[in-house]
Structure 1
């Protein structure tokens, strides 16, 4: 059971680290998710990338796993409005993957198992 818990936390940390890195390396991909009312999209994208990397580090370490899982669940809930905006702004036949309607709308229901996963990891820490 402990090995399975460790693997689950490691997989979540890897997912968060990958996503956080993408936010920092390819910020333009994510800028369209930020509502204009929030100001500079780049700052929000960088901030969310750093937050994902911090969550990844917290989830990876057994001593901070509980708080890391809870922070990850909160982060996933917090970015959900951006995913909704992406879905609403999507277009059929778009050339970029993040603008494709199937990808944009398909991401929305995935947030539920991701939040549940983060919650489960937090309870194992």
Structure 2
């Protein structure tokens, strides 16, 4: 697979993921409120805004003119939501009636930098670690 073929595949998969998760944020914002850090004002509104941001980011990845901006935006988004992931893990908060163990949380926390890279790669901002030939 070529660099651009890989980038296209990464872009499509990431757009599907963020589009779906954004929809879930909008459909069921209450489900995300327990993991919202205490320092975040207006938590329900922030959850709704994150859903909108995810959907716009997903759409932006698919539009060549907006692709780089969407890549930067989704990378920043992944950094900004990291405190919620930490709270979820550290406090063992149940979502949907289920408490996830460290077997879920450790990989999930380790995935966050990968999501940052993935957004930058899909947005055409970085080619690392693929060498351009």
Give the TM-score, by structure 2 length. 0.81
Q: CA deviation at 1:124?
A: 6.0
Q: For 2:44 and 2:122, how far apart are their aligned partners in 1?
A: 30
More helix per residue: 1 or 2? 1
Q: Does structure 2 conserve the Cα–Cα contact (< 8 Å) formed by 1:34 and 1:44?
A: no
Q: For 2:66 and 2:42, how far apart are their aligned partners in 1?
A: 31
Q: Does structure 1 conserve the Cα–Cα contact (< 8 Å) formed by 2:75 and 2:117?
A: yes
Q: CA deviation at 1:85?
A: 0.8
In structure 2, list runs of 5 or more residues that go unmatched.
Answer: 127-133
In structure 1, list runs of 5 or more residues that go unmatched.
Answer: none
Aligned to 1:118: 119
Aligned to 2:78: 76
Q: CA deviation at 1:101?
A: 2.4
Q: For 2:109 and 2:91, how far apart are their aligned partners in 1?
A: 13
Aligned to 1:87: 89
Structure 1 runs (4+) deviating above 6 angstroms are none
Q: For 2:63 and 2:95, how far apart are their aligned partners in 1?
A: 40
Superposed CA offset, 1:37-90 (max 9, x none): 323321111011111111111111122111111111010011101111111111
Aligned runs of 1:13-92 on 2, under 5 Å?
A: 13-90=15-92
Instruction: Give the match's secondary structure for 2:85.
Output: helix
Count of residues paired in the alignment: 123
Give the TM-score, by structure 1 length. 0.85
Greater displacement, 80-89 / 99-108: 99-108
CA RMSD of aligned residues (A): 2.2
